[in-house]
Structures are given as structure tokens and as C-alpha cells.
């Protein structure tokens, strides 16, 4: 049986393709300490996948600093840009999956809510920048995730029909964006017990057999 090949496969970056969430956590921990608070896993769950403006609004509530959201998110960005230059590794199975898709001539792209400067930095730090001819950052579209713009732009650049393409996401926010764009969504949560309701299916890692089936690399067992 020949596996069904998607027209494109689009990867989220933070927490899905790369373990940048450790860099974000280090930066978030420092930010909270600077403002007399403690960063917790509940904060992490709430912030993961958020766009610049959404994260800014959340931070001013979390740190009880009304009206200072934009300053806080800019401070966090400065902190995480330093963290992006070291200790950023691909997530389990990520490089093998990317290379297998390239070998199979399946078009691939990265669609991230992170700004361009951060996205390029972490892709370089992790050694995977050259594997992607197309990447879309959150500051390059009018409406970031959970809106569909980033995924629609990625598919446009790949000349792919979104409804015949696959998205890989680790957060509900990203999955909502991919679903709204019409892609088939595979959820691979960074936080193991995090639910990703919009996903069509979920997997423990990018090396999971269901992922390989969904992106057309191996036949379905069904």
C-alpha cells in the first residue's frame, strides 16, 4: 500500500521542532524574578504558543503591572534573544523527520509565532536553518496564531493546497491556527499532559509511527 503524500508539511518551531521552550523558560524566570515574582508551570501553560500581543496582555496580569504589557514583552524578548544563542536543541525525532521528508521530496516549511530575529537565531543555533527554504515568522503576518495567516502564508510559499497539507503543532493556539487554515493537524504536546483539542490526532513525539503515517512516509496500519 502506497502512503498518501501531503502537498506540504509545516512545522511549528518553539517546543515542536526545537526545544526553545527551555530558552523561553530561562528568560521568563529571569523576568519574573526582576519584578518580584516567581515563574510557575501554570504561567508556562498559559503563555505557551501565545503571540506577542497576547503574551504582553497576559504578562501584565501575571505580574500585576497594568498598562506595562508592551514593556514587559519587550524586556522578555531581549532576555530570550540572549538565551537563543546557546543550548537550543532539536526535539526528539525532529531532524530525522525533516531529513526523511526532504529525501521524499515533500515540501516543508516552518510557521512560528516568534519574531523573525528569534526564529532565525534558534534555527541557526540548533543547526537546522539550512534545511528550510521557507519560514514564516509571527511579525511577518497581519494576524499571528491562533489566526490562520501564518499557515496560509507558509502554504502559499510552498505552492501547496492547505487542505492537502499537514501541520505539526505543540500547543492549542498553534493547532487552532492550522485548523482554521484548513490543514490536517498533528498535535505533539511539549508539556506531555497538555491537551490540544483542535488536533486531528496526537503523538508523543515526532518519531511516533502515527506521525510518519500522517505525513505520508509509511503506509497506515489501518
At 81-93, the pLDDT tens digits run 999 999 999 999 9
* Measured distance CA(111)–CA(107) in Å, rounded: 13
Other C-beta atoms closer than 10 Å to the C-beta of 13 total: 26
Given strand 166-169, what is the order of strands in its sheet?
135-136, 108-111, 9-11, 166-169, 184-187, 201-202
Which segments of the chain does DSSP mark as H helices, in order? 21-34, 41-47, 52-62, 69-83, 94-103, 116-125, 149-157, 172-181, 209-214
> What pLDDT shows up at residue 44?
94
> What pLDDT shows up at residue 192?
87
Helix H or strand E segment including 169? strand 166-169
My answer on whether omega of the bond before 146 falls inside 30° of 0, hence cis, is yes
> What pLDDT shows up at residue 219?
74
Tens digit of each residue's pLDDT (9 = 90 or more) over 151-201: 999 999 999 999 999 999 999 999 999 999 999 999 999 998 889 999 999
* Measured distance CA(68)–CA(142) in Å, rounded: 23
Distance from the Cα of residue 132 to its chain's centroid: 14
Residues in the chain: 222
190 contacts 16 by C-beta, under 8 angstroms: yes
* Measured distance CA(120)–CA(115) in Å, rounded: 9
* Measured distance CA(146)–CA(130) in Å, rounded: 27
Nearest to 39 by CA among 163, 48, 105, 99: 48
CATH architecture of the domain covering 9-19+89-214: 3-Layer(aba) Sandwich (3.40)
Mean of all residue pLDDT scores within the chain = 94
Every domain of the chain and the residues it spans? 9-19+89-214, 21-83
> What pLDDT shows up at residue 193?
86
Amino acid at each position: 500500500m502506497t502512503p498518501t503524500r501531503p502537498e506540504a508539511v509545516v512545522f511549528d518551531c518553539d517546543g515542536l521542532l526545537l526545544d526553545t521552550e527551555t530558552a523561553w523558560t530561562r528568560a521568563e524566570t529571569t523576568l519574573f524574578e526582576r519584578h518580584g515574582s516567581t515563574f510557575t508551570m501554570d504561567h508556562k501553560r498559559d503563555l505557551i504558543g501565545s503571540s506577542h500581543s497576547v503574551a504582553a496582555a497576559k504578562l501584565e496580569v501575571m505580574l500585576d503591572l497594568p498598562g506595562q504589557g508592551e514593556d514587559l514583552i519587550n524586556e522578555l524578548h531581549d532576555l530570550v534573544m540572549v538565551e537563543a544563542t546557546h543550548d537550543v536543541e532539536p526535539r526528539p525525532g525532529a531532524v530525522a523527520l525533516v531529513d526523511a521528508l526532504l529525501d521524499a521530496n515533500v515540501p516543508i516549511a516552518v510557521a512560528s509565532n516568534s519574531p523573525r530575529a528569534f526564529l532565525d537565531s534558534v534555527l541557526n543555533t540548533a543547526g537546522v536553518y539550512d534545511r528550510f527554504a521557507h519560514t514564516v515568522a509571527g511579525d511577518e503576518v497581519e494576524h499571528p496564531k491562533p489566526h490562520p495567516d501564518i499557515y496560509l502564508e507558509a502554504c502559499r510559499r510552498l505552492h501547496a493546497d492547505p487542505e492537502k497539507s499537514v501541520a505539526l503543532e505543540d500547543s492549542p493556539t498553534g493547532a487552532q491556527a492550522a485548523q482554521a487554515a484548513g490543514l490536517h493537524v498533528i498535535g505533539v504536546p511539549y508539556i506531555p499532559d497538555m491537551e490540544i483539542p483542535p488536533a486531528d490526532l496526537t503523538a508523543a513525539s515526532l518519531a511516533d509511527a502515527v506521525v510518519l503515517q500522517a505525513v505520508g512516509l509509511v503506509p497506515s496500519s489501518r
